[in-house]
Amino acid sequence: MVKIGILGVGTVGASVANILSSNADIIEARAGKKIVVELGVVRDLNRDRGVNIKLSSNPMDIINDETIDIVVELMGGVDEPFKLVKEALRRGKAVVTANKALLAYHRYELQELAGDIPFMYEASTAGGIPIIGALKNGLTANHIESIQGIMNGTTNYMLTKMIKEGANYDEVLKEAQRLGYAEADPTFDVGGFDASHKLLILASLAYGIDAKPEDILIEGIENITQVDVEFAKSFGYEIKLLGIAKKVDEGVELRVHPTMIDSNSMLAKVDGVMNAVSVVGDKVGETMYYGAGAGGDATASAVIADIIDIVRGNTTPMLGYKRGLEGKFELLPEEDIITNYYLRMEVDDKSGVLAKITTKLGEFDISIESMLQKSHRNASHVKLLFTTHKCTEAKIQEAMLELRRLDCVHGNITMIRIEK
Amino acid sequence: MVKIGILGVGTVGASVANILSSNADIIEARAGKKIVVELGVVRDLNRDRGVNIKLSSNPMDIINDETIDIVVELMGGVDEPFKLVKEALRRGKAVVTANKALLAYHRYELQELAGDIPFMYEASTAGGIPIIGALKNGLTANHIESIQGIMNGTTNYMLTKMIKEGANYDEVLKEAQRLGYAEADPTFDVGGFDASHKLLILASLAYGIDAKPEDILIEGIENITQVDVEFAKSFGYEIKLLGIAKKVDEGVELRVHPTMIDSNSMLAKVDGVMNAVSVVGDKVGETMYYGAGAGGDATASAVIADIIDIVRGNTTPMLGYKRGLEGKFELLPEEDIITNYYLRMEVDDKSGVLAKITTKLGEFDISIESMLQKSHRNASHVKLLFTTHKCTEAKIQEAMLELRRLDCVHGNITMIRIEK
């Protein structure tokens, strides 16, 4: 029998406890041992959590209990769980966590501290989808060429509504909040920060690259409008919020932003709150992993898979290899990213304007690939939408600054990156 | 350093040897040890295989070599590899195989013989997609409700051509043969037998069910015509050759057949030679795994992942648990399968015919859900196409026999099962 302690019995913690009980038969068959929850730790002992386990309000009751072999951390936050998880590892307890923020900031320290003690985190990224397992075990023969993922259900739900139903950003955000998909302050999701944590975890498995959220390009979906969605459609794209890790000659690109992707790609077909991660290996080609990225039971499914793996005695290193062995990979500076861009701007409805804009773009060696002009009824401005051939992020950013200074350009310019 | 021996250096074997050499750096980083090919065994020593390894024509040179820790079986066939693999296990050597036929027939004997010796077979099913790993490790918290998979690239290529380009079966088979996707005798692929082997492997992981290809319902795509494809389209379906394992109250359904599936499902979007497997767990919901189902490098990617897993010392049981623990699952008899059906038949272009057919169906409690009638120009027959509400396989088979006996029905009746 293996005893576990759960730090944080919220939605996911309650699911873990309940599934360990309801699916005990099959879990024991697969793990080879009975797994029981010895103790759960919660802040407020008076709240009913719908679980039939012993509860305490003191995390040290788990850490100090020598009969507990595995600590499951589901508290959220960074500093407090970091402290507790470190202490658990020091006592030789295996750790399972679903905490993406903890890993986005401290995964290398934790790896070092864990050493040969199992430290697992399948649930931290893309919920119930076993994407960590795929990278840690399934694709190990490959150099990973790229990872592209829809890793945030809230924004994918919102974009799907905008694409399929023509809804506006504000409407769809309100609906997502009403349905509990988005928080009252939705910034963490819609701003791309949640996805960035998950991307950093996957990038460590693929490239051993040590970056923090502050180090990488993160843009949210706040500026996407129906005009962009329609433009994308007419040119064979869909707009998805992607986390992208990509090996280039000079390093590894890490970025999170709304992206126009081929509407025939598998990722473009992932609708609603679902998540999916596409991984390209140099030998296996593209593989894709699809499923629920959130939800108590789906996340608990991943947590329990990790627990079973530990009980079976499996000993894959935390990040799939020892640190340093892939040390040649460095984060590519943002300005060196090369891709195609879509720009939307308001310009004067006058002859000569297009010439001015293309001339200005030409000064930065940027050429237009396809274009659409949309006139407002009875207005002196038109919307100019176009995509560019490949150029660097540095050039497009400089060009956008200069374009904004032109008399014929009004207001902000919206830019969306394209992945072909 | 870990030494491996490769039984059978064909396309996949050569890829394994070449990737172990070209990606040696990252493989060593992930495995923690250097992995080298000590010997390859081939039938014909004179053929150039494009590999830089020592070759022998005697399999026993691998089996008898005490320095070889892992035997990689890539010979194909059943009896000869079964004999050799058993001998390797008896000598305590770990085994990795890509041989689906071997497993379709002997997986339980091999599991028993292997005991605690690693026996792995990720490459046997869906090529480079780590679907075995997902079932063995990623989804272990779940009772598996169903598995539905496109597990044969040849037939998916052919059906995609028929759906997207309106090609006819005969044309597209010829093209698949020309491109090397189909054999001169294509029966193993187009008849659904290849997919059945893979389905049986997955069903063992999910349900511990011991069935052989002869025990289950297998139908191929040979009778699918453009008429069926068009009908499917107009009612929101696509036709895919699926391997299906599904838990029902009374047991487990195992079947391989062309299937009409919702054209909005993720599986319906899997085109060309690609494979994908959708798994529904009682807790995680639907997850899907997509990638290349065949090809030297993609298959070798899975073989090497297994080798690395063994070198790391991981010890998950061969089928994910000890036999017998899931023993309550029994194969549901074919005739008890309950689903919706599509039927196509030629009938007289006369009044009263439809009444005769619906009356006959009524005798078996089968009712029609949607219908289409297609008249030939200048002909006395029309094509009658319809789908039924749910009924048992026994009823639909009996009804089809009776319908064929009606004077107004001409020739064979084509039936395609529907999964909603």
Q: Can you give the residue ranges of every domain in chain A?
A: 2-128+297-312, 137-291, 335-419
- pTM (2 d.p.): 0.96
Q: Which residues contact A288 (CB under 8 A, 6 or more apart)?
A: A266, A267, A276, A277, A278, A279, B288, B289, B290, B291
Distances in Å between the alpha carbon of B287 and those of A127, A296, B5, B137? 11, 15, 35, 14
- Residue A214: DSSP 8-state: G
Distances in Å between the alpha carbon of B1 and those of A286, B28, B276, B389? 30, 9, 35, 61
Q: In angstroms, rounded to a whole number, what is the distance separating the alpha carbons of residues B257 and B252?
A: 16
Q: In angstroms, rounded to a whole number, what is the distance separating the alpha carbons of residues A45 and A40?
A: 10
How many CA atoms within 13 Å lie on the side-chain side of B215? 16
Catalytic-residue membership of B328: no
Q: What percent of chain A has pLDDT over 70?
A: 98
Kindly tell me the number of DSSP H helices and DSSP E strands found in chain B.
14, 17
Kindly state which CATH superfamily the domain A2-128+297-312 is placed in: NAD(P)-binding Rossmann-like Domain (3.40.50.720)
Mean confidence (pLDDT) of chain A: 95
Q: Please report, as a single letter, which amino acid is at residue A320.
A: G
What is the widest separation between alpha-carbon atoms in chain B? 79
Distance from CA of A207 to the nearest CA of B (A): 10
pLDDT at A321: 85
A&B contacts, CB < 8 Å: 209
Beta carbons within 10 angstroms of residue B1's beta carbon: 11
> Which residues of A are tagged catalytic?
198
Question: How large is the average pLDDT for residues B250-263?
Answer: 96
CA dihedral B248, B252, B253, B256 (to 10 degrees): 140
B296 in A contact zone (CB under 8 Å): no
Beta carbons within 10 angstroms of residue A20's beta carbon: 23
For the domain spanning A335-419, the CATH number is 3.30.70.260
Cβ distance A14 to A296 under 8 Å? Answer: yes
Across B42-131, where does the E strand assignment appear?
Answer: 55-56, 68-73, 94-97, 119-120
Tokens of A414: 């919206």
The H or E element containing residue B121 is: none
Q: Which residues of B touch A303 (CB under 8 A)?
A: 141
Q: Which residues of A touch B295 (CB under 8 A)?
A: 285
DSSP per position, B158-193: HHHHHHHH---HHHHHHHHHHTTSS-SSTHHHHTSH
Window A:9-28, CB contacts with B under 8 Å: 15, 19, 23, 25-28
pLDDT at B250: 76
Question: How large is the average pLDDT for residues B298-309?
Answer: 98
Q: What is the CA radius of gyration of chain B?
A: 24
The residue annotated as part of the active site, out of B100, B136, B161, B198, is: B198
Q: Which CATH class is domain B334-419?
A: alpha beta
pLDDT at A315: 84
Distance from CA of B79 to the nearest CA of A (A): 29
3-state secondary structure of B419: strand
Q: Which residues pair with B417 in a beta bridge?
A: B259, B341
For the domain spanning B132-291, the CATH number is 3.30.360.10
Q: Which residues contact B299 (CB under 8 A, 6 or more apart)?
A: B12, B15, B98, B123, B127, B128
Cβ distance B95 to B284 under 8 Å? Answer: no
Q: In angstroms, rounded to a whole number, what is the distance separating the alpha carbons of residues A183 and A186?
A: 5
How many CA atoms within 13 Å lie on the side-chain side of A32? 16
- pLDDT above 80: residue A324: no
Q: Which residues pair with A347 in a beta bridge?
A: A382, A409
Residue A29 has its nearest CB partner, among B282, B313, B321, at B321
Residue B283 has its nearest CB partner, among A266, A285, A297, at A297
pLDDT at B249: 86
Inter-chain contact A31–B140, Cβ cutoff 8 Å? yes
Distance from CA of B350 to the nearest CA of A (A): 44
Residue A283 has its nearest CB partner, among B285, B298, B313, at B298
CA pseudo-torsion sign B405, B216, B81, B157? positive
B333, with CB counted inside 10 A (0-12, 13-18, 19+), is middle
- pLDDT above 60: residue B326: no
Tell me the residue length of chain A: 420
pLDDT at B374: 81
Cβ distance A339 to A417 under 8 Å? Answer: yes
Tell me the residue length of chain B: 420
Inter-chain contact B142–A23, Cβ cutoff 8 Å? yes
Q: What percent of chain A has pLDDT over 90?
A: 93
- pLDDT above 90: residue B257: yes
* Model confidence pLDDT, tens digit, residues A335-372: 999 999 999 999 999 989 999 999 999 999 999 999 99
Inter-chain contact B302–A292, Cβ cutoff 8 Å? no
- pLDDT above 80: residue A385: yes
DSSP per position, A279-311: EEETTTEEEEEEEE---HHHHHHHHHHHHHHHH
- pLDDT above 80: residue B376: no
pLDDT at B375: 78
Distance from CA of B17 to the nearest CA of A (A): 12
Window B:326-345, CB contacts with A under 8 Å: 326
pLDDT at A174: 97
Mean confidence (pLDDT) of chain B: 95
Q: What is the CA radius of gyration of chain A?
A: 24
Distances in Å between the alpha carbon of A102 and those of A12, A262, A290? 16, 34, 24
Q: What percent of chain B has pLDDT over 70?
A: 98
Q: In angstroms, rounded to a whole number, what is the distance separating the alpha carbons of residues B134 and A131?
A: 9
Inter-chain contact B305–A134, Cβ cutoff 8 Å? no
Question: How large is the average pLDDT for residues B86-93?
Answer: 98
Q: In angstroms, rounded to a whole number, what is the distance separating the alpha carbons of residues B384 and B88?
A: 57
B398, with CB counted inside 10 A (0-12, 13-18, 19+), is middle
Confidence of residue A322 (pLDDT cuts 50, 70, 90): low
Cβ distance A123 to A98 under 8 Å? Answer: yes
Q: Which residues contact B219 (CB under 8 A, 6 or more apart)?
A: B192, B256, B257, B258
Helix, strand, coil abundance in chain A, percent, nearest 5 = 40, 30, 35
Q: Which residues pair with A144 in a beta bridge?
A: A281
Confidence of residue B15 (pLDDT cuts 50, 70, 90): very high
Q: Which residues of B touch A142 (CB under 8 A)?
A: 23, 26, 301
- pLDDT above 90: residue B64: yes
Distances in Å between the alpha carbon of A257 and those of A79, A197, B372? 27, 13, 47
Residue at token pair 């023509």: A166
Exposure letters B235-248 (e unless 16+ CB within 10 A, then b)? bebbbbbbbbbbbe
Residue B320 has its nearest CB partner, among A30, A128, A313, at A30
Q: Which residues of B touch A316 (CB under 8 A)?
A: 309, 312, 314
Inter-chain contact A140–B32, Cβ cutoff 8 Å? no
Please tell me if the domain spanning B2-128 has the same topology as the one spanning B132-291.
no
Distances in Å between the alpha carbon of B194 and those of A267, A343, B102, B219, B250? 28, 49, 12, 11, 27
Q: Which residues pair with B341 in a beta bridge?
A: B417
- pLDDT above 90: residue B342: yes
Q: In angstroms, rounded to a whole number, what is the distance separating the alpha carbons of residues B393 and B409?
A: 21
B313 in A contact zone (CB under 8 Å): yes
Inter-chain contact A313–B315, Cβ cutoff 8 Å? yes
Identify which of A104, A124, A95 has the alpha carbon closest to the alpha carbon of residue A12: A124
Q: In angstroms, rounded to a whole number, what is the distance separating the alpha carbons of residues A362 and A351?
A: 19
Q: Which residues of B touch A141 (CB under 8 A)?
A: 19, 23, 27, 300-305, 308
Please tell me which residue, A377 or A308, carries the higher pLDDT value: A308
- Substitution target from A287, A307, A312 for chain B, most B beta carbons within 10 A: A287
Q: What percent of chain B has pLDDT over 90?
A: 93
Beta carbons within 10 angstroms of residue B288's beta carbon: 28
Tokens of B270: 């899997």
- Substitution target from A19, A25, A26, A30 for chain B, most B beta carbons within 10 A: A30
- Phi then psi dihedrals of residue B38, to 5 deg: -80, -40
* Model confidence pLDDT, tens digit, residues A49-107: 999 999 999 999 999 999 999 999 999 999 999 999 999 999 999 999 999 999 999 99
Window A:80-99, CB contacts with B under 8 Å: none
- pLDDT above 70: residue B312: yes
3-state secondary structure of B396: helix
What is the widest separation between alpha-carbon atoms in chain A? 79
Residue A292 has its nearest CB partner, among B29, B133, B284, at B284
- Residue B376: DSSP 8-state: P
Q: What fold is seen in the domain A137-291?
A: Dihydrodipicolinate Reductase; domain 2 (3.30.360)
Confidence of residue B336 (pLDDT cuts 50, 70, 90): very high
pLDDT at A374: 81
Window B:212-271, CB contacts with A under 8 Å: 266, 269-270
3-state secondary structure of A46: coil
Chain B residue closest to A308 (CA)? Answer: B140
- pLDDT above 70: residue B323: no
B322, with CB counted inside 10 A (0-12, 13-18, 19+), is middle
A366 in B contact zone (CB under 8 Å): no
* Model confidence pLDDT, tens digit, residues A227-283: 999 999 999 999 999 999 999 987 999 999 999 999 999 999 999 999 999 999 999
Identify which of A366, A383, A387 has the alpha carbon closest to the alpha carbon of residue A374: A383
- pLDDT above 80: residue B378: no
- pLDDT above 90: residue A19: yes
Distances in Å between the alpha carbon of A401 and those of A364, A381, A406, B198? 12, 20, 9, 57
Cβ distance B195 to B256 under 8 Å? Answer: yes
Q: Which residues contact A213 (CB under 8 A, 6 or more apart)?
A: A104, A105, A193, A196, A197, A200
Q: Which residues of A touch B305 (CB under 8 A)?
A: 137-141
Distance from CA of A313 to the nearest CA of B (A): 7
- pLDDT above 60: residue B267: yes
Question: Which CATH architecture does the domain made up of B2-128 adopt?
Answer: 3-Layer(aba) Sandwich (3.40)
pLDDT at A169: 97
Q: In angstroms, rounded to a whole number, what is the distance separating the alpha carbons of residues B106 and B88?
A: 15
Residue A141 has its nearest CB partner, among B281, B292, B304, at B304
Q: ipTM score of the complex? A: 0.96
